[in-house]
Amino acid sequence: MHGNPMPDSYVYVTEEGVTRHYADGSVEALAWEDVVEVRVVTESGEDVLYILLDRDGEGCVVPRSATDATFLARLRYLPDFDLERLTLAADSAHDGVVVVWRSPDPPSALPDLEYD
């Protein structure tokens, strides 16, 4: 009997925030009101990652493959969020990290993070 393989994670988007549940049982969650920065991580041959961060540099990693119109629509509620900038960064042929949005009142500095 062959079934669909179990995905490595599930992403849930609500009016309150975004949550990612991993296959190992770990969870990342962030309330929309706590988001101060959105980053896009691109790497050749890998899924594009959207990184949502709070003031402490903690956050939620959302693979583009796990997003839908609800996630993108909710990002547009962030003050002055530019969906076109997000799309351009995600579709970039260059590997790297791009900050596509920062809160109008961001913390003094967010840490550089390493992504697997």
pLDDT in tens, 12-23: 999 999 999 999
Share of the chain above pLDDT 70, in %: 84
26 CB-side CA count, 13 A: 5
Tokens 């101060």 — which residue?
36
Q: Calculate mean pLDDT across residues 21-40.
A: 95
**Which region among 1-5, 61-65, 97-101 has the lowest average model confidence (pLDDT)?**
1-5
Check whether 1 has a pLDDT greater than 50.
no
Q: Which among 111, 110, 103 has a CA at the least distance from the CA of 34?
A: 103
Tokens 């990612």 — which residue?
20
pTM for the predicted model, two decimal places: 0.83
Q: Calculate mean pLDDT across residues 90-108.
A: 85
Helices (H), the chain: 69-75, 83-90
| Structural contact between residues 52 and 62, judged by C-beta atoms closer than 8 angstroms | yes
Contacts of 17 (CB under 8 A, 6+ apart): 29, 30, 31, 32, 33, 34
pLDDT of residue 108: 57
The mean pLDDT value of the chain amounts to 87
